[in-house]
Chains A and B, each alone.
Chain A
Amino acid sequence: DSGVTQTPKHLITATGQRVTLRCSPRSGDLSVYWYQQSLDQGLQFLIQYYNGEERAKGNILERFSAQQFPDLHSELNLSSLELGDSALYFCASSVAPSQGYGYTFGSGTRLTVV
């Protein structure tokens, strides 16, 4: 157990729908990162939050959004889902955004859009 908890583990939904992925960071970590892993794009950074505030955006679609709550858990919202959104979505956490010592990934949420 890495200490980063992601729910649900698996999600199957239809095109056009909206889903919410949840992440609880490791105890003491203030920074949360979301990554998407797909066969064709590999592991891609989506967005980062630090202590409730957005810090950086990567290749995140406008249909996707995220937030980090006061208790530091984070949610990734995916809307108007398309078949191509099917992927593994990972959350990772670290103590601080400039720590530079690597961070801890959760086990991911496998999203299947049908």
Chain B
Amino acid sequence: QQQVKQSPQSLIVQKGGISIINCAYENTAFDYFPWYQQFPGKGPALLIAIRPDVSEKKEGRFTISFNKSAKQFSLHIMDSQPGDSATYFCAATNSDAGNMLTFGGGTRLMVKP
């Protein structure tokens, strides 16, 4: 059972545009929602994370929007750059139940110059 659904699977954005990746979860016990960025040949790297007590978190060009009632959260990459081209994973965890991550299926982002 896939508990975190991520869309789209792939995304092409022009340089300077906004990249938007969406995720939906089922388990209401999840209390921590990180996003990871993965480049080819590398492990996932933590990009930004949010807890359900806030609706938005911004770090530089990256913003997470969180809708607890809809059980959805999204990543917005403003002013997308070619260097942002990577695979992005949303994830969720119940930090009181071992902190293991349930990942979405991933989004392959390509930012065209």
Q: Which of A100-114 contact B (CB under 8 A)?
A: 100-108
Contact status B42-A31, CB under 8 Å:
no
The size bracket of the interface on B is 20 to 34
- Within 8 Å of chain B (Cβ to Cβ): is A24? no
Contact status A99-B45, CB under 8 Å:
no
Q: Dominant SS at the B interface? A: loop
Q: Which of B90-108 contact A (CB under 8 A)?
A: 93, 95-106
Contact status A90-B43, CB under 8 Å:
yes
Known: A2-B45, A100-B31. A42 touches B105 (CB 8 A): yes
Write the chain B residue with the least CB distance to A91.
B43
Contact status B99-A94, CB under 8 Å:
yes
Contact status A107-B43, CB under 8 Å:
yes
Cα(A105)–Cα(B42), bound, Å: 9
Min CB distance, B52 to chain A, in Å? 12
Cα(A2)–Cα(B97), bound, Å: 25
- Within 8 Å of chain A (Cβ to Cβ): is B32? yes
Contact status A101-B49, CB under 8 Å:
yes
- Within 8 Å of chain B (Cβ to Cβ): is A58? yes
